[in-house]
Each structure stands twice: as C-alpha cells, then as structure tokens.
C-alpha cells in the first residue's frame, strides 16, 4: 500500500514530459511553416519583379520592331539596301520568342541588345536622311526620264497592240488550218460500202441472207468494198474487224490473231485484222472468221470495221 503514490508520481511525470515534447514539436513545426511562408513570399516577389521586367523588355522590343519595319519600308522605297536590316528583324523576333522563358530571363543581356538596336535605328535615321537628299538631287533627272518613259510606253503600247493583232490573226489562221486539216482527214478516210455477211458451213459452202442457224454456221465471211476517194492516200492500210455477240462482248481469240488497237484514244479489242494495199480502184476486201469449233450464240451480232482511227463501216447478222 505504501508504493502506490510513487507509481502515481511516475505516471504524472511521464505525462508531463510527453506534453512538453509535443509542445516542442508543435513549436518546431510552426517555425518551419513560418520559414516556408516567408521563403514563398520572397520567391513570389522575385517572380513578380522578373515578370514585370520581362513585360517592360517585351514592350521595348515591340516598339523597336515597329520602328525597324517602318525604316525598312522607307529605305527600300528610297532604293537603299535592306539585307542587314532583315537579318536584324529576324534576331529581334527570336529575342521576342525567347522572352517566353521567364525563368531564364537575363535582364542585363536584354538591355544590352536593346541598346544595340536603338543605336542601329539612329544610324538608319542618318542613312534615310542621306538617301532622301540623294533622291532629291535625282528628282530633276527623274522628271526627264519620266517624260521619256511616257513616250516609250506609248510607243511600246502601239507596238504591243500591233503584235497582238498579228498574233490574233495568226491564231485564227492556225485554227482555220487545223479545222481544214481535220476536214481533209475526215474526207480522206476510208469507207466500207456494200457490207455483206454470209455463212460458211464445214464444207465451205456459202449462204447469204443475214440470218443463219447456229448448227450450220461454222464460219462467217464479211465482204465489203472500198470506194474510190481521190483524197485517200494510196498505201498500206490496216483494217480491223470487230464482231460483237448479242450481249455486246467482242468475240476474240488472241491465239488466232485477235489483238488490240487504238480508237478515240482508247484501247479496243479486235476480232481479226488484215493489211491491204489501198489502190483507189474500188477494191473489195473479205474477212473469213471461225470460232474454232465453238458455235456462235443465238441472237443479233454486230459487225464493226475500223481503219486509220475511223470506224469506216458497220453491219450485222443473226444466229438462230
């Protein structure tokens, strides 16, 4: 029973120590918080000051850029060289872009650049004054040259009008010549007249009439006449035959002589082709074509004949 007060005193002492330690910790935390707050205030003040300095610098560069543009325009108008000024303009634009990086802003370096730019503007004022004076001296000579230029422009306009008139006449003549050449080409084209399609059976017996039974139709014979035409050149000519079945498909077999030719700037398949020597005597031309054992489809077939870029004739026959 005598030891209980001692235990109570120990517990009370421990509690007091703990409270004192907690109070000391709070004081330390409060101190650190205060120090951080003061540091942030200092940083904010520094950033604000640098931002203001950046804005002032930007305004100065904008003003210099505007003055430089005006001087470039005037010097160019007065006939002076602006190459170096264009390079300075590029440098100023680069400096303005770099101002966006506030953290790396160096006020002293930018002020040195601004001083150099301002000195350059002053030098260009002197150059502009000199150019104005030189241009004033040349005004009298320019007035004389202006009068001479006016006379020359008048004479030149008269000459240009004359040339354009001749050019227009030349174009009209060329157009007429092209039109005449086209007409001559068309007039000189071959024509296939009296087109006749007859049937040949397996024994070579020929039958006409234009309508034939499929089982008795082994080959067809296409005959036509090339009438006389004094405009047509007498030389070797390729004649192309196209046979279109009732569906409109071209009957062809590359193994037996079919192929392609060009008509109206398009590649077309032909059924058969032969080369003739055109002699302008009204000669007759014949094609004999068979399907190699295959029957012709029932229905109306179309015959088309081409030569030298023209379709020179058309016929038909029917298979029953």
- pLDDT tens across 198-239, in order? 998 878 888 998 899 988 888 999 999 999 998 899 999 999
- Averaged pLDDT of the chain: 83
More confident residue, 311 or 170: 311
The predicted model gives 39-66 an average pLDDT of 75
Is 41's pLDDT higher than 70? no
Q: Is 193-319 a domain of CATH 2.60.40.2550?
A: yes
More confident residue, 110 or 242: 242
- Tell me the C-alpha distance between 141 and 178, whole Å: 53
> Buried b vs exposed e over 86-116: b needs ≥16 C-beta within 10 Å?
eebbeebeebeeeeeeeeebeeeebeebbee
Could you identify the residue written with the tokens 């489809």? 297
Residues of the chain with CATH 2.60.40.2550: 193-319
Sign of the alpha-carbon torsion through 86, 92, 93, 98: positive
Element of type H or E holding 316: strand 310-319
> What global pTM score does this model have?
0.46
Query: Torsion over CA of 132, 133, 134 and 140, rounded to 10 degrees?
Result: 100
Weakest mean pLDDT among 60-74, 136-150, 295-309:
136-150
What radius of gyration do the chain's Cα atoms show? 51
More confident residue, 27 or 287: 287
- Tell me the C-alpha distance between 169 and 119, whole Å: 63
Nearest to 258 by CA among 279, 233, 289, 223: 289
Please tell me the predicted confidence (pLDDT) of residue 147. Answer: 76
Could you identify the residue written with the tokens 């002589």? 257
Please tell me the predicted confidence (pLDDT) of residue 142. Answer: 66
Nearest to 61 by CA among 107, 122, 114, 123: 114
Q: Give residue 55's pLDDT band: very low, low, confident or very high (50, 70, 90).
A: confident
Of these ranges, 47-56, 172-181, 195-204, the one predicted with the greatest mean pLDDT is: 195-204
Q: Are the C-beta atoms of residues 102 and 52 closer than 8 Å to each other?
A: no
Is 180's pLDDT higher than 50? no
The share of the chain scoring above pLDDT 90, in percent, equals 34
Q: Tokens for 184? A: 């001559």
The three-class DSSP label of residue 123 is helix
Q: Are the C-beta atoms of residues 213 and 320 closer than 8 Å to each other?
A: yes
End-to-end CA distance of the chain: 140
Q: What is the DSSP letter of 220?
A: E
Please tell me the predicted confidence (pLDDT) of residue 273. Answer: 96
Q: Tokens for 13? A: 């002492």
204 CB-near residues (< 8 Å, 6+ apart): none
């Amino acid at each position: 029973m005598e030891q209980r007060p001692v235990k109570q005193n120990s517990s009370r002492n421990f509690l007091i120590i703990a409270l004192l330690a907690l109070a000391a910790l709070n004081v330390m935390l409060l101190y650190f918080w205060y120090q951080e707050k003061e540091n942030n205030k200092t940083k904010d003040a520094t950033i604000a000051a640098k931002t203001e300095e950046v804005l002032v610098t930007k305004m100065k560069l904008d003003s210099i850029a505007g003055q430089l543009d005006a001087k470039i325009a005037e010097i160019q108008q007065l006939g002076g060289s602006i190459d170096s000024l264009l390079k300075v303009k590029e440098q100023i634009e680069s400096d303005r872009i770099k101002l966006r990086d506030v953290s790396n802003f160096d006020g002293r370096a930018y002020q040195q650049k601004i001083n150099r730019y301002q000195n350059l503007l002053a030098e260009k004022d002197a150059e502009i004054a000199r150019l104005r004076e030189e241009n004033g001296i040349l005004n009298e000579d320019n007035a004389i040259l202006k009068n001479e230029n006016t006379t020359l422009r008048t004479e030149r306009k008269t000459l240009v009008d004359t040339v354009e008139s001749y050019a227009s006449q030349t174009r009209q003549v060329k157009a007429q010549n092209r039109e005449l050449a086209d007409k001559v080409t068309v007039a000189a084209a071959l024509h296939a007249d009296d087109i006749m399609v007859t049937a040949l059976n397996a024994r070579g017996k020929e039958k006409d009439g234009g309508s034939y039974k499929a089982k008795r139709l082994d080959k067809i014979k296409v005959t036509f006449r090339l009438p006389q035409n004094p405009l047509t050149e007498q030389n070797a000519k390729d004649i192309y035959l196209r046979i279109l079945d009732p569906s409109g498909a071209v009957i062809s077999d590359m193994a037996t002589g079919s192929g392609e030719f060009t008509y109206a700037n398009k590649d077309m398949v032909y059924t058969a082709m032969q080369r003739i020597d055109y002699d302008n005597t009204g000669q007759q031309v014949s094609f004999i074509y068979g399907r190699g054992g295959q029957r012709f489809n029932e229905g109306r077939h179309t015959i088309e004949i081409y030569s030298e870029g023209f379709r020179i004739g058309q016929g038909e026959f029917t298979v029953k």
